A and B are shown apart, each in its own frame.
Chain A
């Protein structure tokens, strides 16, 4: 009997560990496109951009630990197809048979059209890309980040920390306004401005300037040009499901992520999905279909998908009951979010900056909370998220907490 996990990162690793912990004693094969053992991504845009970080990958688990778990790895070898009738994963010419399959291939960044092969232009998703960004910063690069998302903001932050010029180009008039709402988006914009990052809002990129195969600037669609030695593209990611396109596994019409049930089962039997690649209905949020790009989600889902995949026949599957959570570190400030920003009303309490508490209301419930520099408070609010009638209580607590700080 074999459990095959495709995608050797956080969700895949947690799946392997959780299968063993559930008593699975069959084979476990972990197939990964990257050459490295699973490693952690959040530090790639944070501590690993600091000067002096060693180049070597620090894996989440060593080779010896994986051996001890009885996990066989097939690294540097992307899956290219899936035969659900014969239950095999295709890795180039090789067919790897499975009894149970977990899809954990995560997501890949969108690329800027016309940037292929140009030195100095990169995304930031992998260890190699983090090394490239750090080296450019070591050389004093003038940095332009395209897209004011969380990862892009952390990169601008790393550049400013070294005193280097950083520009963020964002098509929206207010950064993160689609995901967090306009007022919290303004607060985020101010964090950038206060740190000396040049924010160019409401403007797109029309092209790149280069000399000798190396980027020298970014041309905006209002005609201005921003000089650049390093351009980091952070305009979002797409689920890495190209290898499933020919298979019967149902994919989302929009972004092609894997459609799962609340047990993380895919549309084909014997196959589950977990992490950034997976859409799932979240029963805690009125069945909203969610695809999250958060560390804790990938860790939890990998573990749950594996428990369901290796459960004995007849055992009732486990359902997800997730309150999304993520954090991001900008210019020495910590942003934390629990719940969902899909809400009827957004209320900001406290200072319009560090120390802010932003509450998101859905009906009479607290749906989500954003805090800036309140590590002690965030998880207290988590307990109220989507609890019946919790809005009033959340407002009350938030007022108390902001007043206590004065």
Chain B
């Protein structure tokens, strides 16, 4: 399972960082940086919550 970011959509709103800062951080340029793109089994539900929280649907999970 991997996290995909659509950089053309990301507006740096930071909700993903709020929900799961181990995985996401907004950088100085105002775009999200994925710090760890392969969440372990036990962390998927909160990565999922982070992905759902993005107001512009810039994040997705791939199997």
Contacts and interface: CB of A to CB of B under 8 A. Distances in A.
Nearest to A327: B13
22 contacts: A40-B55, A42-B55, A295-B55, A296-B55, A299-B53, A300-B53, A303-B52, A323-B18, A325-B15, A334-B12, A334-B30, A336-B14, A375-B12, A375-B13, A375-B30, A376-B25, A376-B27, A376-B28, A378-B14, A379-B17, A379-B18, A379-B26
A383 B25 CA distance: 13
Contacts of A299: 52-53, 55
Interface of A: 40, 42, 295-296, 299-300, 303, 323, 325, 327, 334, 336, 338, 375-376, 378-379, 382-383
Q: What are the 5 tightest A-B residue pairs by CB atom distance, in nearest-first order?
A: A379-B17, A375-B12, A379-B14, A375-B30, A379-B18
A325 B17 CA distance: 13
Contacts of B27: 376
Contacts of B55: 40, 42, 295-296, 299
Interface string B10-25: 0011110110010001
B61 to A, nearest CB: 13
A334 B31 CA distance: 13
A375 B26 contact: yes
Contact of B15 (A296, A303, A334): A296
B17 to A, nearest CB: 4
Contacts of A383: 21
Q: How large is the interface on B (under 10, 10 to 19, 20 to 34, 35 or more residues)?
A: 10 to 19
Contacts of A40: 55
Nearest to A17: B52
Contact of A379 (B21, B28, B30, B52): B21
Contacts of B25: 376
Contact of A375 (B14, B21, B52): B14
Contact of A296 (B12, B21, B28, B53): B53
Contacts of B30: 334, 375-376
Contacts of B12: 334, 375
A323 B12 CA distance: 18
Most A C-beta atoms less than 10 A away, residue of B17, B26, B55? B55
Nearest to A18: B52
Nearest to A373: B30
Nearest to B57: A60
A261 B32 CA distance: 35
A316 B53 CA distance: 24
Contacts of A379: 14, 17-18, 21, 26
Contacts of A376: 25-28, 30
A81 B48 CA distance: 37
Contacts of B53: 296, 299-300
A300 B18 CA distance: 13
B34 to A, nearest CB: 15
B18 A325 contact: yes
A325 B26 CA distance: 16
Nearest to B31: A375
A296 B30 CA distance: 19
Contacts of B52: 299, 303
Interface in B26-42: 26-28, 30
A382 B17 CA distance: 10
Given A334-B12, A376-B30, A379-B26, 16 more contacts: A295-B55, A296-B53, A296-B55, A299-B53, A300-B53, A323-B18, A325-B18, A327-B13, A334-B30, A336-B14, A338-B18, A375-B12, A375-B26, A375-B30, A382-B18, A383-B21
A303 B19 CA distance: 15
A248 to B, nearest CB: 33
Nearest to B48: A21
B55 to A, nearest CB: 5
